[in-house]
Structure 1
């Protein structure tokens, strides 16, 4: 399959997990892939610390200078700090809003002239925590809910320019961070069985599960799809708890 032959894609936060899986699938399907994050990747890598508001413009300029075009933007980089509203410092609040919401806004703004040239696609990686909440995640939830709203706004404003914008809202995905969390439990196997039971499909998600949805949304197969937030959580948020 070569859905992205001749296209240039940028994936943020692609050193592991969902970003890495997405970058790999895009490359396998013919895209020239740039990645941007603090670590190195196997792709054309741009060092980027998205806590710095000047970085998104620098990243887009680097892609334009090296490739001359941008067809697919995947806003995946994110950060989460735990704490109730009483425990969350203003520093942690602003960091999560900056990385999870402001950076995608700035990347989108600076990328828009390039995306307009070829009828580009944007996919934002939100979260089911933009729809509900886990305990002690006020800033993270606010940032992801904001990202879902930004997705719809961009789709409305720029559909006439040939640019589509959608989002995915993953649930529990076996990223390295979550796998390490499971392994830190006293009985990892029992915890994994327990966490699996909150999903009707009886398992947690894999990064590749999310990558497949992201790549479909970014492809021409989804040409009539924009302004949507796709929940991908194994049915978790559809299942009511037992009384």
Structure 2
């Protein structure tokens, strides 16, 4: 049997670093054509690890950017089989320190972005009768770390969005799922660690939250 992803076109938002980059590289290993949408970056940054990579500028907070991105993917490849809504951001502030702009900024990236990406990709998936949408949620959609009120709210929203999409799109042959990472050693989380005066202490405490005794890595940990 051939690889099930061979020749499939997979879009990964925020795919130029961290978890998104690891996802893009793994999809390429599975012989998918990978289109990374991100604010910054270029294909050369991946070297030879993702030979089928296409990088396109994408700002998930702007509907016009999303429409242009999807149109360009369809122009080049004629289809979109997989959408991974990975782009995300976090702020580390108590509720009284947060501004309305902080709140709106997180909602725009973490929740409105996946909604708009699905909105413009779904019609193409529906035409083909198949498709997969994977939203990157978080364990913080269920439990919350200090100073993450807004972030947790967005990720709980992502979980609800996925449930709604799964119900609505299942009859069209489109599968929708959420992946909920724990603490991953990526740029998104490093700022949180830097806020603590004793970083080694918080790293040990975070490691103890995981059954394997360590935080995760964007890609598989070498044996």
| TM range, smaller chain | 0.7 to 0.9
Distance in 2 between residues matched to 1:184 and 1:138, nearest whole Å? 16
Asked if structure 2 preserves the Cα contact closer than 8 Å seen for 1:19 and 1:76, the reply is yes
Distance in 2 between residues matched to 1:102 and 1:155, nearest whole Å? 17
Distance in 2 between residues matched to 1:196 and 1:137, nearest whole Å? 18
Task: State the superposition RMSD in angstroms.
Answer: 2.0
Of 92, 95, 98, 2:105 maps to 95
Are 2:116 and 1:106 equivalent residues in the alignment?
yes
| Higher normalized contact order (CA 8 Å, seq sep 6+, divided by chain length) | 1
Following TM superposition, the consecutive aligned residue runs of length 4 or more in structure 1 with deviations greater than 4 angstroms are 179-191
Are 2:58 and 1:48 equivalent residues in the alignment?
yes
Under a length normalisation based on structure 1, what TM-score does the superposition of the two structures give? Answer: 0.79
Gaps of 5+ in 1: 210-243
Residue 188 of structure 1: how far off its partner (Å): 5.2
- For these two proteins, the number of residue pairs brought into alignment is 209
Distance in 1 between residues matched to 2:168 and 2:9, nearest whole Å? 23
Gaps of 5+ in 2: 44-52
Of 125, 128, 147, 1:115 maps to 125
Residue 15 of structure 1: how far off its partner (Å): 1.1
What SS does the corresponding residue of 2:179 show, helix, strand or coil? Answer: strand
Distance in 1 between residues matched to 2:140 and 2:42, nearest whole Å? 27
Residue 197 of structure 1: how far off its partner (Å): 1.8
Aligned position for 1:67: 77
Aligned position for 1:149: 160
Distance in 1 between residues matched to 2:144 and 2:85, nearest whole Å? 21
Are 2:79 and 1:82 equivalent residues in the alignment?
no
Against the structure 1 CA distance between its residues 82 and 193, is the aligned structure 2 distance closer, same or farther, given a 3 Å change threshold? Answer: closer
Aligned position for 2:150: 139
Asked if structure 2 preserves the Cα contact closer than 8 Å seen for 1:35 and 1:41, the reply is no
Distance in 1 between residues matched to 2:41 and 2:114, nearest whole Å? 20
Distance in 1 between residues matched to 2:194 and 2:102, nearest whole Å? 26
